[in-house]
Structure 1
Amino acid sequence: MGVEDAPIVIGSAGRRLYLIDWFRTAFETLGLNGRIIVAENDPTSAAASYGDEMRLLPPYTDPAYADELLRLIEEFEPKLFLSANDYELMHLHVDTNIAAGLRKRGIFVPGVSPAWQKGCADKLHMAHMLEDIGVNTPMTVTGNEVDRLLGAAGSSGEFVVKHRFGSRSSGLVVVTANHLDEAVASSAKSVRRRADSTDVLDEVIVQPCAPGSEYGVDIVSSLVDEGSLSGVFARRKLRMRAGETDKAVTVDPAPFADAAAKIARAAGLSGLIDLDIFLDSAGTVSVIDINPRFGGGYPFVHLAGADVPLYYLSQIFGIAIDASWRHYEYGVVAAKYQETRVTAHGQQSSDMQ
């Protein structure tokens, strides 16, 4: 395969059509005849018909998923496979050896080590991993340990309750100490139970609210030299909607550089991951969440000048580019908006049940 044929696969893009657009633009910038294969399990999703090719995969929970993914790989021989879905990533990197197998075939699969992928999915474990590498994070306990948290942190201020294995702020509520027990019980009712779970309250975590303002930070490592930090991008969150940043302003990433380097090195990072961080008036950083994928906050820095898709493709296809891909303007405010596109014709309502 030469530059005349440069396929990549984007899985579970869902509503993130901008990722497809920006990889398409990056292909054009590098002079590559790229093809973007979209892999979805819903043929009527917004992204399914937006790529150059579309292939249906079973849900990652389906026993046929691995075989169908392998058929896709053999058909297109892509150089990159990335997913925008937390649970699919867990299946690829931890529950199976699929990600490792793809890498042995010469396919780049951005992400973190299996241990850190597991930690990112388990917010209690993640807090311990961050503490172990000297990155500040709020004290984190399960719903059964509220008394221990109050004994250490005190009963003043506010507390965050959310699902331990959740995604996109599932089960999230912020309450004062006198409403903690009620909030934990309420969050536990909507938790996604795991097969080996024995106590639903262990599926909920509680933390004291971190001081300061909340930021989204993308950290990027080389795809060919895992753990080496290549770029850091930051934006202050101005508004949230459905668990994603809805409006933000880009800022200088310097306050987050030390934590970013420690995480990239410890996690064996390749490519981009998204961090949720609080920064207080004294300059203290507190990491509260890690999403090992392109997160919903990346568009804010891309629109300000950063270009991670261009960096990915330059590394994958061995094309030298300058450092402008990691430069972006500070003080740029951007807000998301909604669009709608036709994804199928001739469907009966009964077909969509």
Structure 2
Amino acid sequence: MINILISSAGRRVALINCFRHAATELGLDLSVIATDMDPSWSPACQVADVAIRVDRCTSAGFIPQMMEICLKNQVNLIVPTIDTELMVYAESRPLFADIGTEIHIGDPEFVAAARDKAATAALLGAHNIPVPQTWDISEMLYNASLFPFPVLIKPKDGSCSKGISIVSCMEDIREKIKNPEDWLAQEICTGQEYTINCFYDRDGNCVACVPHYRRFVRDGEVCFAETVRVPEFTAIAHQFSRIFKGIRGCICFQGFRQNDGSVRVFEINARFGGGYPVCDRAGGTFARWIFQEIMGIQPDYHDNWKEGVRMLRYDEAIFTGV
């Protein structure tokens, strides 16, 4: 029996299904535990084998609570899913290892770099990876005439497109934000937006890179997507192995493929992205490799996924209390 725990499960029914499909193919007996602050309002908790209410991930009691759950349920693997829980899990990985639970997360240094969008842009730019021109909002307040409005503003540690907006002048910025030191501004990219799903082995080598075009996005999560081979993004994914110490497992990064064919990278997520199911269906079977890793067998890594696989999400419902 393999017991996995999907943390902050929310609406991630498709992710659970990917793990269940991988377990079936490998002949594994799988139990899925889903945790959330209110499982009664979580679709993923409704389809899991076990659903457990937990405290907010930023609370002092979160890690002791998760360790107790893991001990009681003999959890082999935790899969974090939201940005705000990544660092606390990364820093606590040795504690969970002592009780026999792995956490699918990179080292704290990598997670910290990925969580801070300003640090991400600076680090990638220093390694000649193309990024949008980026400014600190605090600098803009004193040198507004130097910046080419309109620009995009976003929280340095934001996620799911929350807080992102286009501003045309300093008055717009002062209206929209209260703490300039927590925000950054970037030039507006054009072209097609992509998410690139990547898998890194335990030595930090990139073994698969599956980009998908984000045809339609709602509240930061892709609804319509199509897998596309983009050599420029693949090359960048392999560069990450040299840039980031402690990168491992599934991550994703986002970028634009501009009309002239050039690319820009603007964000890294040290976790499964919301669009991972299209990668899985195209043959990027990261869930399978994770099971093989925790079973102690050599994963059958490959990069032979299929181009042109589309994901067309639609609204569906789970009914309770009937």
TM over 0.5: yes
Shift of 1:323: 4.5
Match of 1:66 among 42, 50, 63: 63
CA-to-aligned-CA distance 1:249-283 (integer Å, 9 cap, x gap):
21014221221112234332111111111123454
Match of 1:15 among 1, 11, 31: 11
Task: Write out aligned runs for 1:50-65 (5 A).
Answer: 50-65=47-62
Match of 1:32 in 2: 28
Match of 2:93 in 1: 99
The one-letter code sitting in structure 2 at the alignment partner of 1:218 is N
Match of 1:262 among 239, 248, 270: 239
Whether 1:163 and 2:155 are equivalent positions in the alignment is yes
- 3-state SS of the aligned residue for 1:144? helix
Distance 1:173 1:144 in 2: 17
- 3-state SS of the aligned residue for 1:171? coil
Structure 1: which 5+ runs fail to align? 190-199, 347-353
Match of 1:274 in 2: 252
CA-to-aligned-CA distance 1:166-215 (integer Å, 9 cap, x gap):
1111111134xxx23233234315xxxxxxxxxx1122211112343211
Distance 2:52 2:113 in 1: 30
Match of 1:287 in 2: 265
CA-to-aligned-CA distance 1:36-62 (integer Å, 9 cap, x gap):
111222121112232112222211122
Task: Write out aligned runs for 1:75-224 (5 A).
Answer: 75-93=72-90, 97-146=91-140, 151=146, 155=148, 158-175=150-167, 179-188=168-177, 200-222=179-201
Distance 2:122 2:214 in 1: 25
- 3-state SS of the aligned residue for 1:47? helix
Structure-2 change in CA distance of 1:43 and 1:332 (3 Å) = closer
Aligned residues: 319
Structure-2 change in CA distance of 1:217 and 1:162 (3 Å) = same
Contact 2:114/2:268, CA 8 A, preserved across alignment = yes
- 3-state SS of the aligned residue for 1:249? strand
Distance 2:213 2:268 in 1: 16
Match of 1:350 in 2: none
CA-to-aligned-CA distance 1:3-36 (integer Å, 9 cap, x gap):
xx21111111210101111111111111111111
Distance 1:265 1:149 in 2: 36
Contact 1:173/1:183, CA 8 A, preserved across alignment = no
Distance 1:187 1:273 in 2: 31
The one-letter code sitting in structure 2 at the alignment partner of 1:202 is E
- 3-state SS of the aligned residue for 1:145? helix
Tell me the C-alpha RMSD between the 2 structures: 2.2
- 3-state SS of the aligned residue for 1:339? coil
Whether 1:47 and 2:24 are equivalent positions in the alignment is no
Contact 2:89/2:105, CA 8 A, preserved across alignment = no
- 3-state SS of the aligned residue for 2:169? helix
Q: TM-score, normalised by structure 1?
A: 0.83
Determine what percentage of the aligned residue pairs are the same residue: 27
Shift of 1:102: 1.8
Shift of 1:105: 4.3
Contact 1:220/1:231, CA 8 A, preserved across alignment = yes
CA-to-aligned-CA distance 1:120-144 (integer Å, 9 cap, x gap):
2221122122223332212212222
Distance 1:104 1:228 in 2: 26
Distance 1:244 1:187 in 2: 23
- 3-state SS of the aligned residue for 2:316? coil
Q: TM-score, normalised by structure 2?
A: 0.90
Distance 2:136 2:316 in 1: 39
Match of 1:313 among 270, 291, 298: 291
The one-letter code sitting in structure 1 at the alignment partner of 2:14 is Y
Distance 1:100 1:40 in 2: 23
Contact 2:224/2:312, CA 8 A, preserved across alignment = yes
